[in-house]
Chains A and B, each alone.
Chain A
Amino acid sequence: MANSYYDPADLRKFGSITEWSEELGNKFFDYYGKVFEEGALSAREKSLIALAVAHVVKCPYCIDAYTKDGLQRGITKEEMMEAVHAGAAIESGATLVHGVQMMNKYNKLSM
């Protein structure tokens, strides 16, 4: 076993989570598969959303998986990086919008 919390080889063992809870595991994978099918959004668009979210939740497995998925779909590196920026902008915006709370509190406490 790798001397790390994360081992890239664990990604391909993801399916084995069903072994310890078959019903919930299968329900999750059915749901997961369904989510990424073509729908009102294309599978290509959903792949880019997944890539952005993978970065926001900082999941190394998901980043590997959806970079590869994007390559397979012919998504360009420019499109991938823009998706990552979209995720990063929301994440930093979520921090910065709390600045209003700080300003409110500052103003309330100040004479």
Chain B
Amino acid sequence: MGQSILSDIKKAAKKSLKARENELANTNRQLEILNGGLFADGELPSFKDKIAKTGQFPLKPRTLEILQINVGYTCNQVCEHCHVDAGPDRKEIMTRETMEQCLEVIRNTGAHTLDLTGGAPEMNPNFRWFVEEAAKAGIQDFIVRSNLTIIRSNKKYHDLPEFFKKHNVHVVSSMPHYTRGKTDKQRGDGVFDKSIKALQDLNAVGYGMPDSALRLDLVYNPSGAFLPGDQAAMEHDFKKALKEDFNIEFHNLFAITNLPISRFLDYLIASDNYEDYMYALVEAYNPAAVENVMCTNTISVSWDGWLYDCDFNQMLNLKVASKVKHIKDYNEDLLNDREIVISQHCYGCTAGAGSSCQGTVT
């Protein structure tokens, strides 16, 4: 099976599912797949039934700690596993007006962490203004998720390390592997070399150095249909290899499981790995991870201001089950009283040591 289909995917993968008019660009189709097949047949238990068994349904939020804002789906890369279906052809970008609504919330939130993501958040034309304004709110931990290559993609981004430093931004960057082959296979040719150069640029201004307060963390997600290994062991291997080969330093490695949605779902189906992957996720289910799963302490905001339990629900268009659904009506007390919207993709965050935008959760 599949090799010719897979090579077709690789050729097509220069564009988003949306631009290719792929059926999975339709979120209802993705949910049909996730709710059908193995789960409809009863071969595997639904996520709802699984958490109900340990008395964890309905899933409710704990205290809000993280406000994650997706400032747009435009990206300079088209990664094969991207759950956002981001790319240069995606034009969904947060407007300044929505950013102003977000700033109002940031100034008043009880959350201690602000987490900006995308796409490549730096490609939003109002990104720098937004960071400057948000930094004034004095949030304890201000994260920007940078794909690294953006820093080297164009001269106008070369000064980003200095800009991040000026605003004491915590940089969290994707790095699928410490070898060129694996990185480029997942993220595209040349990505590895550009990422290495960008990491060296960040190190040069003080990011990631052993005693530095300028935090630089890396995100690892598997380059294929398998789950991430032990986070601490992976961090050890990454640190050793990046230091020895490129003299690069960083603080922590977050191992994140790929969730079976969007482009990763497309890959799983085309490579005939979908069923095995869902079995592996269900088999690795860990009730302890459910306790700390990120939707219980996070609110995710989309480029157009809608509110979600997490970035994955955002990409499946599963808005929060609350009277408050938009940033313009934001009310933390009402939101804290909601039930979290779940489906079978949630198994991705409860497998093994658990998975969140901050790495493992157990």
Decide yes or no whether A12 CB sits under 8 A from chain B: yes
Chain B interface SS verdict (over half)? loop
Contact B228 A72 (CB under 8 A): yes
A73 / chain B contacts, CB cutoff of 8 Å: 229-230, 233-234
Contact B279 A12 (CB under 8 A): yes
Contact B177 A74 (CB under 8 A): yes
Chain A residue with the shortest CB-CB distance to B220: A74
Contact B283 A12 (CB under 8 A): yes
Interface residues on A, range: under 10
Q: Complex formed: what's the CA distance from A72 to B257 in Å? A: 11
B230 / chain A contacts, CB cutoff of 8 Å: 43, 73
Q: Which of A71, A72, A74 contacts B237 (CB 8 A)?
A: A74
Contact A72 B227 (CB under 8 A): yes
B118 to chain A, nearest CB (A): 26
Q: Complex formed: what's the CA distance from A44 to B240 in Å? A: 15
Interface string of A38-76 (1 = CB under 8 A from B): 000001100000000000000000000000100111101
Known A12-B279, A72-B222, A76-B179; judge A44-B233 contact (CB<8 A): yes
Q: Complex formed: what's the CA distance from A65 to B233 in Å? A: 19
Residues from 3 to 59 in A contacting B, C-beta threshold 8 Å? 12, 43-44
Decide yes or no whether B224 CB sits under 8 A from chain A: yes
Q: Complex formed: what's the CA distance from A24 to B106 in Å? A: 59
Instruction: Count A/B pairs, Cβ under 8 Å.
Output: 26
Residues from 304 to 341 in B contacting A, C-beta threshold 8 Å? none
Decide yes or no whether B129 CB sits under 8 A from chain A: no
Q: Complex formed: what's the CA distance from A44 to B230 in Å? A: 10
A44 / chain B contacts, CB cutoff of 8 Å: 233
Contact A43 B222 (CB under 8 A): no
Interface string of B198-236 (1 = CB under 8 A from A): 000000000000000000000000101011111001100
A68 / chain B contacts, CB cutoff of 8 Å: 226
Q: Complex formed: what's the CA distance from A71 to B230 in Å? A: 12
B234 / chain A contacts, CB cutoff of 8 Å: 73-74
Contact A72 B279 (CB under 8 A): no
Chain B residue with the shortest CB-CB distance to A47: B229
Q: Which of A12, A72, A76 contacts B229 (CB 8 A)?
A: A72
A88 to chain B, nearest CB (A): 23
A43 / chain B contacts, CB cutoff of 8 Å: 230, 233
Chain B residue with the shortest CB-CB distance to A12: B279
A76 / chain B contacts, CB cutoff of 8 Å: 179, 182
Contact A72 B226 (CB under 8 A): yes
Chain A residue with the shortest CB-CB distance to B279: A12
Interface string of A77-108 (1 = CB under 8 A from B): 00000000000000000000000000000000
B258 to chain A, nearest CB (A): 12
Known A43-B233, A44-B233, A76-B179; judge A71-B279 contact (CB<8 A): no
Chain B residue with the shortest CB-CB distance to A8: B276
B182 / chain A contacts, CB cutoff of 8 Å: 76
Known A12-B279, A12-B283, A76-B179; judge A71-B233 contact (CB<8 A): no
Q: Complex formed: what's the CA distance from A68 to B226 in Å? A: 7
Known A43-B233, A44-B233; judge A71-B179 contact (CB<8 A): no
Q: Complex formed: what's the CA distance from A74 to B220 in Å? A: 10
9 more A-B contacts (CB under 8 A) besides A74-B229, A74-B238? A71-B224, A71-B226, A72-B228, A72-B229, A73-B229, A73-B230, A73-B233, A74-B237, A76-B179
Q: Which 9 pairs, one residue from A and one from B, show the smallest C-beta to C-beta distance?
A: A72-B229, A73-B229, A71-B226, A72-B226, A68-B226, A74-B237, A74-B234, A12-B279, A72-B227
